[in-house]
Amino acid sequence: MAKVIIDPVTRIEGHLRIEAIVEGGEVREAFSSGTMFRGMELILQGRDPREAWLWAQRICGVCTTVHALASVRAVEDALGIEIPPNARLIRSIIAGAQHIQDHVIHFYHLHALDWVDVAKALEADPAATARLAGSISDWPTGSTGNFKQVKDRVATLVASGQLSLFASGYWGHPAYQLPAEANLLAVAHYLEALEWQRDVIRIHAVLGGKNPHPQTYLVGGMASAVDPASPEVINLERVGFLRERVQTMRAFVEQVYVPDLKAIAGFYPEWFALGAGHRNYLSYGDAPTGSIHDTGSYAFPRGIILGGDLRTVHPFDQAKVTESIARSYYDYSGGKEEVRHPWNGETKPNYTGPTPPFEELTTDAEYSWLKAPRYDGKVMEVGPLARVLVAYASGSARIRSLVDGTLAELGLPATALFSTLGRVAARALETVYLLDLMDGWLDELTANMGSGDLRVHDGTRWDPSTWPAEAEGWGHHEAPRGSLGHWVRIKDRKIANYQAVVPSTWNAGPRDLQGQTGPYEAALVGTPVADPERPLEILRTIHSFDPCLACAVHVIDATGRERSRVQVR
Amino acid sequence: MRVTIQPMPGIPLEVPVGEERSTVLEALTRRGVSRRRFLQFCSAMAAALALPSAYGPRIARALESSPRPILLWLEFQDCAGNTESMLRSSHPDVAEVVLETLSWEYHETIMAGAGHQAEAVIERVRREHKGEYIVIVEGAIPTAEGGIYCTIGGKTALQIAREVCSDAALVIAAGACAWDGGFVASGPTGAVGIGQAVSGLNLVNLGGCPMNSANAAAVLVHYLTFGEAPPLDAYRRPLFAYGHLIHDQCERRAHFDAGRYVEAWGDAGHRKGWCLYKMGCKGPEATFNCPSVRWNDGTSWPVQAGHGCIGCASPQFWTQMSPFYERLPNVKLIGLDLDAQTIGLGAVAAVAGAATVHAVGMGIKKRRARAAAVAGEEPPPAVEPQPDAPPEAPES
C-alpha cells in the first residue's frame, strides 16, 4: 500500500491537492482537497447590487465572464427585469465564445500532456505524421514540412537544456500509448491552438472591451450599444468581424480539435471504462431562446440523470440543494452535522488541518476548503458530460446525432460515456453544438439591427428608487465547467446577502457527513497507477473534469446571520 | 562550460550552462523569427516604454547578448486572470519574444509537471541561479494565522514567497491582488501584496484587474536591456504605464469637452460613442495606459466597448473606486480643459504620494549578475510625469 500525494495538481486553475491510497496497482481510496481560501463573504454586503457582477466576475480569471452573467441574472430575477433580445444575444455570444475557447484550451494546454508524450514526438517521421494528419482531417497545416519544423523546434528546445514548462513532465511513462507520429501531431496543434485562442477571444474585446474580465454587463442588459448607422458601436462591420472569428473557431474545432480527440481516444479505449464515479448528473440548463424564465426554451435542457439511467430525466428543484461541511474547514451554527441550503448558508472558516509545512492531510477528519454540495442528499457531477447526457436523454436531436455518430465511429456503447474519456468527448461534442448556436445568434442580431430594434438595455429599474424595499433572486448559468448558481438578497437598495455555488465545488468537494465521496474522489477509485512516483493516470481522470479551484472555494458567500428566502420562478 | 544532462528519459544531452546559456536572439532564431521582426519588436517596446526611438537598437543589442533569463511564475490567492492576460497577450510579437524566449520554468496553470516534480523545479532554480532569476507573483498572500489560508505542497504561500522572492533579481507583482492585496485584502485572511509580505525586493508593481501583459513585456525588456526596472512612481509602478490619466488619453474626450454625454444606457448618445462620465466612468481620476495599449491585439478597451472605466489599476480600487455607477464628484461638466488639468494633477498627487521613488538607486544595488551582460548600456532618464513634490490636492 502506498500513499500518493499530488500537490500542486498543475494544469488547472487554482490550488488542488490529491491524496490517494494505492494498493495492488490501483487507487483504493482518494481524497480531494482545495488548499486556498479567500473568504469574500462580507465585502459584497452593503454594496450596490448593480455592480455585484464586477466583483463576482473576479472569482475566476479562467472562467472569466461566467460569474458576471450569473450575477446580473440573479439581480434581474430579484428586481423582475426582462432584458431586451439584443442583450440576450450579446450575452449568449460572449458566453458561447468563452465556452468554445475554454474547451479547446483545456484539451490542448491543460489535458493533452496526460495523453501525449512530448519526448516521443522526437522519434516521429514528419512524412508519416503528414500522412496520419491527412487521414483524419484536411487541415491545411498538415504538411511534411510543417511537422518537420515543429519537430526541429522541439529538438532544439531539448538541446538547449532549458525545457521551460515541459521540464518536469512524466515523459517516457509506460501509460503513454500514442505512436510517435500522433505525439508530433498533437504537439503541433498544441502550438497552433495557442495562436488560435488569442485570436478568437477578440470576440470578447469587441463585445466586452477586454478579456479576461469583459466589462459591458449591466443589470438590465448590456452596455455594448448597437447601431448599424454608427461607426462607434456594434454595427454590421463589427458583426462581420465576429462572424470571421466564429468561422475561425469552427474551422479549428471541426478540422483539428474533434479529429485529434477521436484519434487520441482511439489509442486509449480502456479509458472509456475508467473514471465514472457516481453516475449522477445535473444540469441547470442554459442558452434561452426567449425569457430566462422559460426553461423549456433552453438550447441546453435542464434536468438530472440518476445512476446512469438515460431513460429518465428527473426535474430539478433548487430547494433540494444543500451543502455539508462535515469534512471541510468550516463551522456551522448548528454544528458539523448540519447541512444547509445556500439561502441559509454560512461561511465560518475554522482551519483544523496540520500545521504547515506538512506532509499529509488529516484525511480522517476535515481536509478541504471546499464544502460538499449535495442534491436531495445525493452526490452530483456537473459539466459538459452532465449537459450532454441530460440533452441526450431529453431527446435533443442535434446532440443525439453528435453523440451516436461519435460512439459509432469509435465502436463504443452509450455506457462508454460514463468515463474519463467520456467527459473529454462530451466537451468536444458540445463545442460543435455551440458553434451552430453562435451562427444563429449572430443571424438574429443582424436581423434585429435590420428591423430597427437597437435596444440593449431595459432601464425601467435602473434607478434604485424604483426598487421594492426587499427583493430576492437567483441567477444560473451553464458555465464551461458546469452548473453555476448565484443567490442574492437586496434590502434597502443594497446587497444584504450573496452566495455562489460553483461547478468545481460540486465536482471537487470532499466527503459529507454520511461519508459519501465527492465526484473526483469516486471517479479515481479503480484508477490504475503503474508508478506511484509518477501518478500520470490520476491526473488523467482529475483533468477530465477541468478543475477550477478558485471558483470552487466559497469566495462570495452568504453570512447566514439571518434566514433569507429566495423567490424562484 | 558544458554538462551532460538527461532532460527526458533515454535522451542524454550535452548542454551549455552558465555564461553559455542561449541568448534571446538565438532562441528567437530557432523559433524562426527573423532579425527584421526582432528589430521591429524592439522599436515597439521602445515606444511602449515612451523612450526615444533611438533606444530601439540599444534594446536589440542588449537582448542579443543577454542570456535567456529564467522566469518563475508563482500563484497564491489568485484567479489566474493575469495568467490568462499573459496567454492572450495583446501583441503576438510580445508573446513570441518574451513568452518563448524566457526560460519559463514554473507556472502551475500551464506547466507539464505536477506534485513534487514541479516543486523540484523551484528548488533547482533557487540552488543553481540564486540572485539571477525573475519571479512574477500573481494573487495575494494570506498572513493571518500563520498563513494557513493558502498552501502549496504543504508549505504556506508566505513561506514560498519569502524563500523564492528573496533570492530573485527582479520581482514583478502581476495584477491588483499581488500588488496591494486586491479585493482579497477585504476578506478575513490577512491578505497583502508581495511587497508587504516580503520586504527588500527589487519590485515592480503592475496594477490592473488584470494587468495588461504588454506592460509586463515592456518591463521585462527594459530590465534585460538596462539591468534595472524602468522609472517607477511611489507605488513602484512604471511611469510609462501608470503616469497618465485615462481621461487624457480617451477617444471620447472630445465629447466630454463638448458637453456630449451618455444620459441613459442605449440612448442616442451611447450609440454615437459619447462620453460615459455621467454613467460613472472613473477615467478622470484613474491612471493607466489602457486607452493606448488596449486589449487582445489592441482590439478594444472597456470605454470603447461602451462601459465606463472602473479604475482597476488604481490603488485599492475596489474600495476607492466603488460605487462604480455613481459619477465622480468635483468634475465640472461643460468642457473645460482647466478642470481636467486640475483633476489630473490631483490624481498624480494621489498616485505619487509624498515621495517619488526613482528606480536607479535600487536598480544599481540589485544588478547582480545581470549587470555584466549589459555593461555599457545606461538607462534613459525617467519619462514624464515625474513629480518631485506632490501638487496641491484637488478641491473637495
Residue A168 annotated to the active site: no
- Nearest CB neighbour to B8, from listed A37, A171, A199: A171
Determine how β-strand A330-331 pairs with β-strand A348-349. Answer: antiparallel
Test B187 with A109 for CB contact under 8 angstroms.
no
Task: Yes or no: say if B108 and A8 are a contact pair by the CB < 8 Å rule.
Answer: yes
* A-chain residues near B17 (CB < 8 A): 161
Q: Write the CB contacts of B261 (distance below 8 Å, at least 6 apart in sequence).
A: B255, B269, B274, B275, B276, B277, B278, B333
For the segment B225-238, the average pLDDT, to the nearest whole number, is 93
Per the CB < 8 A criterion, the answer to whether A178 and A186 are in contact is yes
- Give catalytic status of residue A548 as yes or no: yes
What residues in B contact A61, CB-CB < 8 Å? 78-85, 210
- A472-519: per-residue pLDDT in tens? 999 999 999 999 999 899 999 999 888 889 999 999 999 999 999 999
Contact indicator for B308, B279 with CB cutoff of 8 Å: yes
The half-sphere exposure of A413 on its side-chain side, counting CA atoms within 13 A, is: 5
Q: Which of B129, B136, B148, B255 to mutate to test binding with chain A, by most A CBs within 10 Å of its CB? A: B148
What was the ipTM of the complex prediction? 0.94
Quick count: other Cβ atoms within 10 Å of Cβ A317? 11
For the question of residue A534 being annotated catalytic, the response is no
pLDDT of B13 higher than 60 = no
- The H helix count followed by the E strand count for chain A is 16, 15
Cβ contacts of B20 on chain A, cutoff 8 Å? none
Does A34 contact chain B (CB < 8 Å)? no
Specify the pairing of strand A470-479 against strand A330-331: unpaired
Active site residue A551: yes
Report the C-alpha gap between A101 and B226 in whole angstroms.
Answer: 38
Q: Which of residues 110-149 of B touch A (CB under 8 A)?
A: 110-121, 140, 142, 145-149
B-contacting residues of A 147-186, CB under 8 Å? 149, 153, 156-172
Which helix (H) or strand (E) covers residue A322, if one does? strand A321-324
* Chain B (62-81) residues lying within 8 Å, Cβ to Cβ, of chain A: 68, 70, 75-81
Judged on CB neighbours under 10 Å (0-12, 13-18, 19+), B396 is exposed
Model pLDDT for residues A297-349, shown as the tens digit of each residue: 999 999 999 999 999 999 999 889 999 999 999 999 999 999 998 878 788 89
Phi/psi-derived region of residue B31, left when phi > 0, alpha when psi is between -120 and 50, beta in every other case? alpha
A276 CB-near residues (< 8 Å, 6+ apart) = A308, A418, A419, A422, A523
pLDDT score of B98: 54
B88 touches chain A (CB under 8 A): yes
Q: How far apart are CA A430 and CA A100, in angstroms?
A: 9
Q: What is the pLDDT of residue A312?
A: 98
Asked if A163 and B9 touch (Cβ cutoff 8 Å), the reply is no
Cross-chain CB nearest to B112 (options A54, A168, A195): A168
Mutate: best of A71, A168, A202, partner B, most B CBs <10 A: A168
Pick B323's closest partner by Cβ from A51, A162, A455. A51
- pLDDT for A331 equals 94
Q: Which grid coordinates belong to B299?
A: 482590439
Average pLDDT score over residue span A121-144:
96
Contact status of A353 with chain B (Cβ, < 8 Å):
yes
Encoded amino acid at A12, one letter? I
Interchain proximity A38–B299, CB inside 8 Å: no
State the average pLDDT for chain B: 79
Catalytic hit among A481, A489, A534, A543? A481
| pLDDT of amino acid B38 | 74
How many inter-chain contacts (A to B, CB under 8 Å) are there? 340
pLDDT > 50? residue B5:
no
Best of A16, A48, A210, A555 to disrupt the B interface (most B CBs within 10 Å) is: A210
Catalytically annotated residue among A73, A103, A328, A551: A551
pLDDT at A391 over 70: yes
Q: Which pLDDT band, with edges at 50, 70 and 90, does B31 fall under?
A: low
Q: What is the pLDDT of residues A461-480, one digit of tens each?
A: 999 999 999 999 999 999 99
Give B357→chain A minimum CA distance, Å.
31
pLDDT in tens, B88-145: 875 545 445 555 667 888 999 999 999 999 999 999 999 999 999 999 999 999 999 9
**What mean pLDDT is reported for chain A?**
93
Give the mean model confidence (pLDDT) for residues B39-58. 75
Is A198 within 8 Å of B5 when comparing Cβ atoms?
Answer: no
Q: Is A2 on the interface with B (CB under 8 A)?
A: no
Q: How far apart are CA A316 and CA A485, in angstroms?
A: 13
- State the Cα–Cα distance between residues A121 and A101, nearest whole angstrom: 25
What lies within 8 Å, CB to CB, of A104 at 6+ separation is: A193, A196, A197, A252, A253, A257, A431
Asked if pLDDT for residue B279 goes beyond 70, the answer is: yes
What is chain A's length? Answer: 569
CA neighbor of B310 nearest in space, from B393, B208, B237: B208
Residue A401 has pLDDT above 50, yes or no: yes
Q: Do A198 and B117 touch (CB under 8 A)?
A: no
* pLDDT(B335) > 70: no
B9 and A171: CB-CB below 8 Å? Answer: yes
B283-317: pLDDT as tens digits: 999 999 999 999 998 899 999 999 999 999 999 99
Is A440 exposed, middle or buried, given 0-12, 13-18 or 19+ CB atoms closer than 10 A? middle
- Would the pLDDT of A557 be above 60? no
Among A109-123, A431-445, B361-375, which is the least confidently predicted range? B361-375
A63 in active site: yes
Q: State pLDDT tens for residues B180-193.
A: 999 999 888 999 99
Residue of chain B whose Cα is closest to the Cα of A359: B154
pTM of the model: 0.90
CB neighbour list of residue B354: distance below 8 Å, 6 or more residues apart:
B234, B390
